[in-house]
Structures are given as C-alpha cells and as structure tokens.
Structure 1
Amino acid sequence: MDVILIAGFWLDGSSWSAQVPALEAAGHRVHTPTLPGLAPGDSTDVGLPDQIDAIVELIDRIDGPVVLAGHSGGGNVAWGAADARPDRVAHVVFVDSFPPPAGHLINDELPVVDGVIPFPSDRSAYFDDAEFADFTDEMLAEFEANAIPEPARVAPDPLILEDERRHAIPVTVLATAFPKEQIEQLIEAGHPMTTELDALAELTIIGLPTSHWPQLTKPEQTAQVLVEAANRAAGTDD
C-alpha cells in the first residue's frame, strides 16, 4: 500500500522520519512530500488549492489505492485530495485533526509577516499549553529553530469539497492535544465542525494524550496508528 504523509504548518516531509521505518517494515511504500511553498526555493505565492493539487498529482502518479495521513492543517490538504480522488483513496488518517467541513479555514488569525506565516514567537497567544505536552525544552527549541514559514494564503483559504463519495472512505482520527472525549461530545451535540464526521460510513477515533505534534512527541505510537490504518486498507490486518 502506498502511504502519503502530509505535514502540518511549519513542517516539511522530514517531520515524519520517525514513522517511515515502521511503515516500510510493514511492507508499505511511503511518500513524505513537502508541500508547495515550504521547500527551499519555492515561491510562497501559493494557496490551499495549490497544496491539494500537489497531493492529487502525487496520487495520480501512483498505481493503485493510497492511504493519506494529514497532520493538523495537513488534514485540510488530505481531505481536499480525498474529495478530488475518492475512488483512489482507501483510508485517511487525521493526526490531531479531523475531516473539516466545506468552507473551513485552517486559521485566519495567525500573524502574517512579509507574505508568510512564521511560527509565532509568542506561543501562548495562539496555542494552549496542552499542545506542547511532552516536549522537552531542547525539543521545543529545535522545533522553533527549524520551523518553516507557511505561505500566507494557505491559512485563510476556504476548503472546497464537491464529491460526497469521500464519505465512504474509512477515516481514523488520532486525537492527541484535542482529546478523543471532546470530539465525541461535539459529535453528540451536533456541532457544525463535525458535519463531515457525522456523514462518514466508517470512523475510528483513537486517543493518545500528548502534544499537537505526536509524530515528534509520541513517535512509536503514532507510527503504530499509521501502520494499522495502512494494514487495514491493504487487507493485511489479520
């Protein structure tokens, strides 16, 4: 099974380096693209549709079905690509994210500097402390030092969804900083953000209390969730 791992804001494809070996050991082919606007030399004049198109183009170059995994804002990219190619996507894993409804914006409140969104220097203004659970001081310093500014148009671009066949794709949500119980409560209450979750034919929610970046703070456990989803999609989960 081909597995495409899509990083969230401020990260490139290397952010999945701790998960790749486990997926490959399970027999899967792993792709860790760096989204447009984040690779060295890229123009930052790109929006969310450009990033979705890049994943769709990657899907089109692969023979057979794929599993998509999207972390944080990468979840919007994954779901947009699944909507564009519902017949090619066998499973979608949302890593501290969940399927966003049509028109959803990733975040239109992050500060823009010279056409990009750098990782905020004042973390407390934009993040809860829980989102940095399990980070050591050294890990956090490295994260901030390596954070890649995000193209400014990606954050406020509304997600366009057009093909309801996406609801037939099995979905796994890995809930970390946003707790599993809170997602279930929102679903029960019929919150507008859960309309896509409500429409899914198959949904699995896995709780893993840690930071918003579990691929960094709980790498083995995150890898296991990805392996299990890929195995299920490949029919080798026995």
Structure 2
Amino acid sequence: MSTAAVRPSLLLVHGSWHRSTCWAALQDALASDGWQSHALDLPSVGPQSDPTAGMHDDAEEIAARLRKIDGPVVVIAHSYGGIPATQAITDATNVVHLVYLAAYVPAEGESLNTIHGFPTPSEEDLSGTAPVVFDDPRTSLYGDLPDDRAEHLVRQLLEQSVRAFQQQVTHAAWRNVPSTYVLCEGDQALLPALQEQMSARASHVERIGTGHSPFLSAPAELAALLGDIASTEACDRARR
C-alpha cells in the first residue's frame, strides 16, 4: 500500500484566547506540502462564545468535527487545546496520532488549573470569563515575531470562560493513541521545563527552536515537521 493512499488529514485545535484563524499561515504551508487540514473554533473562546461553555464543551466540539472527517486524522493541539483534545479523542476511531504542540498533556483528574498548582474550586464558575493572564502577552505568546505583527495579534486576543480552566479530564487519550510532543524551546508562555515534564507522557518528542506560537513565527518549518510526523504514522499503519 502506498503512503499516499493512507495519508491522513490534520485537525488543528487552537489554544486559549485564540480562534481558528490563528492557523491560516500554517494551513497555507501545509497545503503547499500537499496536506489537507481542518481547523475549528472552541466554544469556550471568543465574542460568540457561551460564557458557561467549559473544557467538556470544547472536547465535544472536537469530537463532533472528527465525526465529520472521512479517513485517518492526525490531531494537532496547541497549548490549552491539548486538554480538550486529550478528553475528546479517546473513543475517536479515525484518530491515528495526536500531536501536542507546546501543549498541556493532562492525566485523568487534572485540569489546566491543577497542572499549575491552583486548587480545584468547590463549585465551577458557570458564567465568568478570563482575559489573557500574561502581564506581557506580546513577549509571552509572540516573542519571536516582529513588533507590528505581534502587537496586531495581541489586539485580536479574546476572553475565555473560566470554566474551561477548571474542568478536569476524565479520559486521557495519550494512554492508547500514539502521540508526539513538539517542545518549543524558546517558549515564554508555557515554559520548556514544564513542557519537558508533560512530554514524558507522549510516545515521542520533537523539538523546535521557536517561541509559543510556531504556526505564526515559523509556519513552513512547523508544516515540514508535522508532515514528517504524519507521514511516519501513515507508513507505520501501511506496514501493520
């Protein structure tokens, strides 16, 4: 069986305070390399978001999109997106690989808040939204982008429901789905030391010398890396 016959498509899951438009440059680079990609908007983020939507709603949105995609899929989850992706794809029969891109890799019972050592509230906040938590989001999120581009992106950031950060994972897909952690070595948002810890849960680790958002600062380099990961998975499945 040829690699082309089993080539998967890619589903891109954004992180906190972003929308699917953040993937545009990467999607163009992937398309140039012959890869089909899909991107979705998580319901917990943005001006049209439901302020009561949480991580589980985001996970259901991922699962729903996967049900609409024919053929094998590699899911690429960035930052917070790793949490609902971990929850969503445990029972998704068409997901062949999960890529954590500078992302959280939770175990059962963990949330974004608990990973950072914050206590679990006695009750979920059902209505609150959270602005960007970084004192300097330009440096934290876009430190390797030119000033004008970074400042434009900071102005586009959106609020996200507090509930998304509180809800805990009940299923951990990395236990039974092959996975790769892409560690961003210059990350100033999700620090490399924490990424190192979480990457131990993945099947394989790759490294890229960028800040937190390589899909913006190095889309061609990231597209090539993701293509290599997806091609390897396709070849492995063809041999099985």
Same fold (TM over 0.5): yes
Q: Which residue of 2 aligns with 1:120?
A: 133
Q: Which residue of 2 aligns with 1:79?
A: 86
Q: Which residue of 1 aligns with 2:231?
A: 231
User: Tell me, which stretches of 5 or more residues in structure 1 are unaligned?
Assistant: 187-192
2:184 is equivalent to residue 171 of structure 1: no
- 1:66-88, CA deviations, whole angstroms, 9 ceiling, x for partnerless residues? 11000000011221122232x32
**Distance between the aligned counterparts of 2:109 and 2:136, measured in 1?**
26
User: Tell me, which stretches of 5 or more residues in structure 2 are unaligned?
Assistant: 1-7, 119-124
2:141 is equivalent to residue 135 of structure 1: no
Which of 158, 169, 175 is the aligned partner of 2:168? 158
Count of matched residue positions in the alignment of Structure 1 and Structure 2: 216
Amino acid at match of 2:59: I
Question: Is contact 1:116–1:149 with CA below 8 Å preserved after alignment?
Answer: yes
Post-superposition offset of 1:174: 0.9
| Residues 33/162 of structure 1: CA separation in 2 closer, same or farther (3 Å cut) | closer
Post-superposition offset of 1:132: 4.6
3-state SS, counterpart of residue 68 of structure 1:
strand
**Distance between the aligned counterparts of 1:9 and 1:218, measured in 2?**
20
Post-superposition offset of 1:95: 0.7
**Distance between the aligned counterparts of 1:22 and 1:194, measured in 2?**
26
Which of 20, 33, 36 is the aligned partner of 1:29? 36
Q: Normalising by structure 2, what TM-score?
A: 0.78
3-state SS, counterpart of residue 14 of structure 1:
helix
| Residues 102/121 of structure 1: CA separation in 2 closer, same or farther (3 Å cut) | closer
Post-superposition offset of 1:61: 1.4
Alignment RMSD: 3.0
Q: Normalising by structure 1, what TM-score?
A: 0.78
